[in-house]
Amino acid sequence: MRTSLRPIVAVLTGAAILCGLTWLAASAAVAAVVGPSLPVALAAGMPTVLTLGADQPDLAYGGSRTLTGRLTDPASGSGVAGAPVRLETRSVDGAWVEVALVTTDAGGGVSITQTPTATTTYRLHHGDPGTPDESTSPEVIVSVHPALTAALSQAAVRARRPVTVTGAIVPAEPDVALDLERSTGGTWQRVTGTRTAADGSYSLTAAPAAPGSWSLRVVRALPDAGVPRAGSAVDLPRLEVFRLHRYSVTTRGTIRADMDAFRAAVAATYADARGWARAHHRFRAVEPSSGGAEFTVVLAQAQSLPTYSRVCSSMYSCRVGRYVIINQDRWRRGSPYFPGTLEQYRRMVVNHETGHWLGRGHAYCPGPGRSAPVMQQQSKGLHGCRVNPWPLPREVRSVS
Ligand SMILES: [Zn+2]
């Protein structure tokens, strides 16, 4: 008796998930539609009605999607517990094929995770074909696009040296045009390009010239300059492009300081992430005899400073041409006008004189209580600023 039977509603929704994370998300989705009504028992022979959730985003090849649905009694809105529900896919010839059989939970819900290898049309199906209680959900299409992968050969590269990006399109798509792009000023610009091999793999090589932190991506070339479709671009980790400077360490005059400690302090200052490394400069110590040094760090007896230039004072450190000259008296005792620690002084003076070698001129205290620029002559006084051995952000930017 049709009128005496309660129709059943099955709702199929898709909970987006990649790579299988999300039993919790699927459960939450089911809980969200269960509502306060009490579950009802399945009654044989009931006519049924089915509805469907919204479309979901594309799925990358290899990813998973959890489909959630619910069998309900439309008269009361209650879920139907303990009922068999089949998940079906439409085959190429149009027939529906069962891929999973599940039983509704206490709230009438079902949750089925699938890893389709191609775009697939799904539906839920309850009841035997042709029977009064048969119901099918509306169809859900899970679109699957090829996965594009990309990896950098290294996280940092010296300017103008090669860096390689390798990856593949999976499943394999041969002869696909791919571009390596860099984001500059908010827009993506092509760096170089290639085409995938027969197995879908590719390799791109670039030699970034400009020091900095590069944002890169690999993108399927768009012949019609259209909007990239899903899965057609993959972002890479940021690439640090740095300038490398080789330096040597030497002395002038009578030296009482521990030279091993001096070398170690200079190297630690150059390697410190708070230093000129922030401006994409890296430093490598070489032997003076190698002839490969671009500049020389000198620990000099105080009286010898003026022998480098008339502008150098025996009171302070100095930079003349390729020589970064650290005054031994200041190195050992600091400056009476510098209120920080001796360690701060040493880091400050190495960064300050090296900053001159990198092309920086003097800076001035921007205001009472502010951090002193490292290019301020902190040896001669802070002028209300706070001790600071490291380049300020604006000093970093102006050098890079
Ligand atoms: Zn100076």
- Digit-coded pLDDT (tens) for 149-208: 999 999 999 999 999 999 999 999 999 999 999 999 889 999 999 999 999 999 999 999
Residue 358: predicted pLDDT? 96
Interval between CA 164 and ligand 1 midpoint (Å): 40
Residue 295: which residues within 8 A CB-CB, separation 6 or more? 245, 247, 322, 323, 324, 357
49 has a pLDDT exceeding 60: no
Q: Stretch 88-115: mean pLDDT, rounded? A: 92
Residue 95: which residues within 8 A CB-CB, separation 6 or more? none
Residue 7: predicted pLDDT? 45
55 has a pLDDT exceeding 60: no
Interval between CA 379 and ligand 1 midpoint (Å): 9
Interval between CA 362 and ligand 1 midpoint (Å): 6
Higher pLDDT, 155 or 13: 155
Interval between CA 186 and ligand 1 midpoint (Å): 36
Interval between CA 295 and ligand 1 midpoint (Å): 16
Residue 72: predicted pLDDT? 84
Q: Enter the tokens of residue 283.
A: 């430093």
CATH of domain 243-399: 3.40.390.10
Residue 230: predicted pLDDT? 65
The pLDDT-based confidence of 235 (bands split at 50, 70, 90) is very high
Residue 12: predicted pLDDT? 52
**Class level of CATH domain 2-145:** mainly beta
Interval between CA 322 and ligand 1 midpoint (Å): 14
Cα dist from 204 to 69, 72, 178, 210, whole Å: 45, 54, 9, 18
Comparing 28-37, 181-190, 227-236, 237-246, the range with the smallest average pLDDT is 28-37
The pLDDT-based confidence of 266 (bands split at 50, 70, 90) is very high
Higher pLDDT, 117 or 47: 117
Interval between CA 361 and ligand 1 midpoint (Å): 7
Beta strands 109-114 and 65-73 are antiparallel
Q: How far apart are CA 139 and CA 100, in angstroms?
A: 16
Beta strands 323-327 and 295-300 are parallel
CATH of domain 147-237: 2.20.130
For residue 29, give the DSSP letter.
H
Higher pLDDT, 34 or 56: 56
The pLDDT-based confidence of 122 (bands split at 50, 70, 90) is very high
Q: Stretch 333-341: mean pLDDT, rounded? A: 96
Comparing 11-25, 68-82, 102-116, the range with the smallest average pLDDT is 11-25
Q: What is the percentage of the chain residues whose pLDDT exceeds 70? A: 83
Q: Enter the tokens of residue 225.
A: 């300059």
Interval between CA 170 and ligand 1 midpoint (Å): 57
Interval between CA 370 and ligand 1 midpoint (Å): 19
| pTM (predicted TM-score) | 0.75
Interval between CA 384 and ligand 1 midpoint (Å): 18
Q: Stretch 79-97: mean pLDDT, rounded? A: 91
Q: How far apart are CA 109 and CA 314, in angstroms?
A: 85
The pLDDT-based confidence of 46 (bands split at 50, 70, 90) is low
Q: How far apart are CA 275 and CA 281, in angstroms?
A: 9
24 has a pLDDT exceeding 60: no
Q: How far apart are CA 182 and CA 186, in angstroms?
A: 10
Residue 5: predicted pLDDT? 42
Q: Stretch 80-85: mean pLDDT, rounded? A: 90
Q: Could you give the dihedral angle defined by the CA atoms of residues 9, 13, 19 and 20, in that order, rounded to the nearest 10 degrees?
A: -30
Comparing 60-64, 239-243, 257-261, the range with the smallest average pLDDT is 60-64
Residue 122: which residues within 8 A CB-CB, separation 6 or more? 12, 67, 87, 88, 89, 114, 139, 140, 141, 142
Q: Which residues pair with 344 in a beta bridge?
A: none
Higher pLDDT, 71 or 378: 378
* Helix (H/G/I), strand (E/B), else coil: 244: strand
Beta strands 239-252 and 156-158 are parallel
The pLDDT-based confidence of 221 (bands split at 50, 70, 90) is confident
Q: Stretch 43-60: mean pLDDT, rounded? A: 62
Instruction: Give how far the C-alpha of residue 259 lies from the chain's centroid of Cα atoms, to the nearest Å.
Output: 41
Each residue of 311-321: b (16+ CB within 10 Å) or e? ebeeebbbbbe
340 has a pLDDT exceeding 50: yes
Residue 9: predicted pLDDT? 52
For residue 290, give the DSSP letter.
G
* Helix (H/G/I), strand (E/B), else coil: 34: helix
- Burial class (CB within 10 angstroms; exposed 0-12, middle 13-18, buried 19+) of 258: exposed
For residue 58, give the DSSP letter.
-
Interval between CA 317 and ligand 1 midpoint (Å): 8
Residue 26: predicted pLDDT? 35
Residue 40: predicted pLDDT? 65
The pLDDT-based confidence of 400 (bands split at 50, 70, 90) is very low
Interval between CA 318 and ligand 1 midpoint (Å): 7
Comparing 55-69, 83-97, 279-293, the range with the smallest average pLDDT is 55-69
The pLDDT-based confidence of 1 (bands split at 50, 70, 90) is very low
Residue 213: predicted pLDDT? 93
Domain boundaries, the chain: 2-145, 147-237, 243-399
Q: How far apart are CA 365 and CA 383, in angstroms?
A: 6
Residue 375: predicted pLDDT? 98
255 has a pLDDT exceeding 70: yes
20 has a pLDDT exceeding 50: no
Q: Stretch 26-52: mean pLDDT, rounded? A: 51
